[in-house]
Structure 1
């Protein structure tokens, strides 16, 4: 891979001068005002792999007038997000942009307020609590698969994201809101949320450009926020007026409405519930749909892996309904999903701002520096991943997992701020994959033209992958007729 850039000569000289702090090498060769921004837009994720290969595990790049220090090794993640996490925060223009969407939700809040919210929410995301939601998830999957059945009957192709997005949305809505949301309301949140996520990313890229440079879509973004708020506040108000009783069928939102902070005796306000519900909904919706889309693409290009996945599901679940106990036996299914998250992590970046001067691998990190951990590149670091472009679910056997750095795989982040929905997402992935191979044989429409990554807030597909499904016959004849 060629990277048409050179190390900035002044930066290189300064970093070698004796007695002066070393400065990370600067990815150069960009335009005076835009820096590496055109290269990022054209090369996408490959820019990070090429820069790491040329400049090492720590380097800087200019995105417009904003300088970003990129770190690419698990030990850097250990330092920034765990050992020295108090030195780094979620301040600055980037996080302010995200807050225009998520308010002060768990993903962006800080300090004592974040600790309070995490304390109130954490117990609802313990694995035993998630297991109680499995039946609701399977109901949602089966309802949405009626669309897949119609495509199978007609012989029509399906588009990965267009097929998985409503399926994931139905699962999240069912578990987050229960039955207290209409299909029209779901469609409003899905359409508005997808646009809003992309707009926030464009705003982040434009940070630091002159104020007169327009970022298209500003009015539509404000309208999307209003539309989502109208739906969410209406659902919250209904939930507060008519609390659901505790039990296995209780939605996550109902649980949050009923949660009292043991230290303060307070409940969340409607505004706080809005921020947390929207954070859970948007963070889980697009990322899970993308994770499943990338997983399916990888499986359709590896018939042996798909056959092994199906054989495991047939042996463990048979023709019955998946339940929580099955998940603990679907080891290969889980490893398939983990490997897909390695190769194509929907959350491809983790970012912090240095609150004080610091040092990473001998490089000086001044206070105010925007530090980006490139998850996509860390998941392909040759020190930890042999032949990293090869799809190999066996990387996640207990033995191989124990032999590598614990932070070589971070699709959900790490440390205190690790994604609260980690176990929810893994259960979700296992259930969907199990139900799909139980029900269908699958084939790519154009197996030699895979989708390629496109950077946004998430790792999207530049061109969506299309595939066909065929219903498996009674007695699992389809298991032997094809993959």
Structure 2
């Protein structure tokens, strides 16, 4: 636990007896850098300690900036749903994200966002998911070569390194069809991964003049250019072959906004495609790496999941109708997303003055819904640090605050690919367990890596034993 986080009044008194319009309690940091050294040293444990000492709402001193941390489901409801019009995606973080994905759904605002959402959301409804399921399963099988080679050689495999190959293949197949080469997939994946890693640093460096050398900026620009070259080429190929198939790009090319009669421009298609890349490639592989790490640390749950997969599928290839028959696989993915949400905070900027829990939030204030902390809030989760997929039975879910679990955001801005990502996670776990008996590698340690997404550090090392006849 971090001592002396609060400057001034004892934290619980300050947070629990806030007079209307009062200033939130604040962390106490160092001159110029605030609490950044604590964050770098203790990672997200620092945020858990700060909430415990300062209460559910407090200010984080970051030296050159200040951030109001929001840690309760009612805060998420206020900022992301009830008063969402007052909280926009502004500031250095979002400008850094826009430098890569442009005005895709995650970053666009106002009429543009509404128009794009109207055109894209129907493509993720149940009938479309059913149509994409076979493409997804084929991509999963094609992307498992690294797992297969390690199992055949009897050597350990780092799942954190191999899973992105699968999720990249899935998003490329479902977005652009199955004609993408492995070389193209690897090139896009490498560029995306670096660009995503750079975003936090890029946000911190945005205050510097462009002529000042910034570490990594040139490589980020090269990565963004490489992504554009691939994506615009894919778009041109689809425009030259209209009606080619059921991939998302073909569908979006043909989609017309019912209210305006307009179709998407190449730039809009590019922005949406890159947005879907990031959402479907990075966050899903991160969540599944944590899921496998948690499963091998809990062999009883791993055995239960293997039994579910055997009873539901045997050795046959799964289809869309099988997805509801894998409830434990879904719960494992959800519990991994609770404990280690890839998007571990949701930043917004207040447009006008506001008040939350009696505390004054001036216009221009940057606030952050701390998803990682909210998912571990002791008022809403019993033994919050424990891995327990049983929390996600329908009975338990009904008993919780509806916003105690928000890995995909909430409200109108909730990720349109939520059901796609959950289905993908279920099917990847199922295909792995159909083929292999999985166990941990003794002596290997998995830690938390504090980056743009909540990755592992040290990898997730597994031993895979091929199952006879599979």
2:275 paired residue number: 279
Deviation at 1:424, TM superposition (A): 0.4
2:344 paired residue number: 348
Deviation at 1:20, TM superposition (A): 7.2
* Cα deviation digits, residues 16-69 of structure 1 (max 9, x gap): 9998721111110x2210101111111111111010011000011122311100
Does the Cα contact within 8 Å between 2:15 and 2:56 map onto a contact in 1?
no
- Are the structure 2 counterparts of residues 180 and 52 from structure 1 closer, same or farther at C-alpha, using a change threshold of 3 Å? same
TM-score computed with the length of structure 2 as normaliser: 0.96
Rounded to whole Å, the distance in 2 between the matches of 1:68 and 1:143 is 44
2:463 paired residue number: 468
Alignment pair present for 1:338 and 2:334:
yes
Deviation at 1:350, TM superposition (A): 0.8
Alignment pair present for 1:363 and 2:362:
no
Rounded to whole Å, the distance in 2 between the matches of 1:18 and 1:192 is 47
1:400 paired residue number: 396
- Are the structure 2 counterparts of residues 225 and 210 from structure 1 closer, same or farther at C-alpha, using a change threshold of 3 Å? closer
Residue from 443, 446, 452 that aligns with 1:451: 446
Does the Cα contact within 8 Å between 1:81 and 1:415 map onto a contact in 2?
yes
- Are the structure 2 counterparts of residues 335 and 212 from structure 1 closer, same or farther at C-alpha, using a change threshold of 3 Å? same
Does the Cα contact within 8 Å between 1:63 and 1:205 map onto a contact in 2?
no
Deviation at 1:282, TM superposition (A): 1.4
Q: What are the equivalent positions in structure 2 for 1:425-440 lying under 5 Å apart?
A: 425-440=421-436
* Cα deviation digits, residues 165-222 of structure 1 (max 9, x gap): 1011111111111024222221121111111111111122445578897541011111
Rounded to whole Å, the distance in 1 between the matches of 2:40 and 2:212 is 18
1:163 paired residue number: 162
Does the Cα contact within 8 Å between 1:64 and 1:206 map onto a contact in 2?
no
- Are the structure 2 counterparts of residues 18 and 106 from structure 1 closer, same or farther at C-alpha, using a change threshold of 3 Å? closer
1:65 paired residue number: 64
- Unmatched runs of 5 consecutive residues or more in structure 1: 477-483
1:480 paired residue number: none
Deviation at 1:129, TM superposition (A): 0.8
Deviation at 1:449, TM superposition (A): 4.6
Does the Cα contact within 8 Å between 1:66 and 1:207 map onto a contact in 2?
no
Rounded to whole Å, the distance in 2 between the matches of 1:210 and 1:56 is 38
SS in structure 2 opposite 1:290?
helix
Q: How large is the Cα RMSD of the aligned pairs?
A: 2.1
Residue from 363, 376, 379 that aligns with 1:380: 376
Q: What are the equivalent positions in structure 2 for 1:194-273 lying under 5 Å apart?
A: 194-206=193-205, 215-245=214-244, 249-273=245-269
Deviation at 1:93, TM superposition (A): 2.4
Aligned length: 469
- Are the structure 2 counterparts of residues 26 and 209 from structure 1 closer, same or farther at C-alpha, using a change threshold of 3 Å? farther
1:152 paired residue number: 151
SS in structure 2 opposite 1:69?
strand
Deviation at 1:461, TM superposition (A): 1.0
SS in structure 2 opposite 1:289?
helix
SS in structure 2 opposite 1:434?
helix
Rounded to whole Å, the distance in 2 between the matches of 1:16 and 1:213 is 46
TM-score computed with the length of structure 1 as normaliser: 0.93
- Are the structure 2 counterparts of residues 191 and 34 from structure 1 closer, same or farther at C-alpha, using a change threshold of 3 Å? same
1:36 paired residue number: 35
Alignment pair present for 1:417 and 2:413:
yes
- Are the structure 2 counterparts of residues 154 and 372 from structure 1 closer, same or farther at C-alpha, using a change threshold of 3 Å? same
Does the Cα contact within 8 Å between 1:45 and 1:454 map onto a contact in 2?
no
- Are the structure 2 counterparts of residues 94 and 150 from structure 1 closer, same or farther at C-alpha, using a change threshold of 3 Å? closer
Deviation at 1:148, TM superposition (A): 1.8
1:139 paired residue number: 138
Rounded to whole Å, the distance in 2 between the matches of 1:5 and 1:169 is 44
Deviation at 1:144, TM superposition (A): 2.0
Residue from 437, 446, 449 that aligns with 1:441: 437
Deviation at 1:407, TM superposition (A): 0.5
Rounded to whole Å, the distance in 2 between the matches of 1:379 and 1:459 is 14
1:26 paired residue number: 26
SS in structure 2 opposite 1:132?
helix
Rounded to whole Å, the distance in 2 between the matches of 1:355 and 1:196 is 29
Deviation at 1:333, TM superposition (A): 1.2
Does the Cα contact within 8 Å between 2:330 and 2:422 map onto a contact in 1?
yes
